Amino acid sequence: MGLGLLIELQKRIPDRWFLRRLLPAALFVVVALVGGGQLGQRHWNDIALARERIADALRLGGGPTADGIASLVLVAVPVVGAAFAVPYAAAAIGALASGAWPWWLMPLGRRLTAWRVRRWVPPAELGRQAVRARDDGKELRADRLDARRARTEEAEPGSPTWSSDRFRTTETRVRAESGDDIANGWTTLLLAAPDTSRAALADARDAYDAACEGLAWSTAFTLLGIWWWPAAPVGIVLGLASWRGLRHAVEALCRTTEAALILQHTEQRTNPHTDDGNPGI
């Protein structure tokens, strides 16, 4: 019954919502109930006990009995709750990544900014250090310096996160090249952009949201490790992958937004009037 219900839900719920929210929520609740609620730290590797508990949870045969329905509801409620809660947690993570920190976190934000400034080295200097390291035969150090130079911004950090600096750099570049303000013109851009640009922007923003949701799930699994430690390594690995995905998503979102705005501005300059004689958007 439980598997049939899951298949039926997959048919009726959009794939993106099902695969990115409902399915991970179901997995998290099962791990929390079996690992944290049944195995714990003392019996963390008792596979037989875990298999027995999962079998008991799925054994709803013999028709929809009262116990079976009650068990299904007890599992479905936290699954649905987690599926709806994760987007809000992801939105908070996205706000922190973009530099929109609340006032009560600003002291921490200033400390992080100062720490990033102390660690920052100009890319040109990193390149020179890499050359000197390679001349000294330290190939591994040279490769590490080259990799760091590739991901280091030219300007000194001015916010707590790399993502925020990347967004600010894009805003400054777009304002200098086209005179547009991304923060105030995002909705206008989506409405006025052609279908190809709108689809590219939607995909880039969706990748950013997906990375933030991955960070939310990684935090949940890492915290679950307090009750069942194998969940913590899973959360850490997921967090590292999601963090890397977030950097790629930020880069793609910035480049796509910059290209769409510049293309729109260029089109407005080359074709300032529409066919009916009215000014273009």
Nearest Cα to 22, choosing from 88, 68, 76?
A: 76
User: Which tokens belong to 243?
Assistant: 């963090």
CA–chain centroid gap for 114, Å, is 25
Query: Is position 275 within any domain?
Result: no
Residue 44, pLDDT score: 67
Same domain, 30 and 59: yes
Residue 55 pLDDT exceeds 80: no
Same domain, 126 and 208: no
Same domain, 138 and 197: no
Overall number of domains in the chain: 2
Greatest distance between any 2 Cα atoms in the chain: 77
Residue 261, pLDDT score: 81
DSSP class per residue in the chain = -HHHHHHHHHHHS-HHHIIIIIHHHHHHHHHIIIIIIIITTTTTT-HHHHHHHHHHHH---SSS-HHHHHHHHHHHHHHHHHHHHHHHHHHHHHHHHTT---GGGHHHHHHHHHHHHHH---HHHHHHHHHHHHHTT-HHHHHHHHHHHHT--SSPP-SSSHHHHHHHHHHHHHHHHH---HHHHHHHHHHHS-HHHHHHHHHHHHHHHHHHHHHHHHHHHHHHTTTSTTHHHHHHHHHHHHHHHHHHHHHHHHHHHHHHHHHHHHHHHH--B-TTSSBP-
Global pTM exceeds 0.85: no
Same domain, 9 and 58: yes
What average pLDDT does this structure show over 2-7? Answer: 50
Please enumerate in sequence order all residues whose Cβ is within 8 A of that of 31, keeping only pairs 6 or more positions apart, or say none: 221, 224, 228, 231
Contact assessment for residue 131 and residue 108, using Cβ atoms and an 8 Å cutoff: no
Residue 21 pLDDT exceeds 50: yes
How many whole angstroms separate alpha carbon 187 and alpha carbon 4? Answer: 41
Q: How confident is the model at residue 1 (pLDDT cuts 50, 70, 90)?
A: very low
Same domain, 111 and 129: no
Query: What is the domain extent for residue 129?
Result: 121-155
Same domain, 90 and 144: no
pLDDT tens digits, residue range 125-177? 999 999 999 888 888 999 999 888 888 888 889 999 999 999 988 888 888 77
Where is the domain boundary, 103, 131, 155?
155
Where is the domain boundary, 105, 133, 155?
155
Same domain, 89 and 21: yes
Same domain, 25 and 86: yes
User: Which tokens belong to 216?
Assistant: 């939310």
Same domain, 147 and 168: no
pLDDT tens digits, residue range 65-110? 666 666 677 777 888 888 889 999 999 999 999 988 999 999 999 9
How many whole angstroms separate alpha carbon 214 and alpha carbon 225? Answer: 17
Same domain, 125 and 254: no
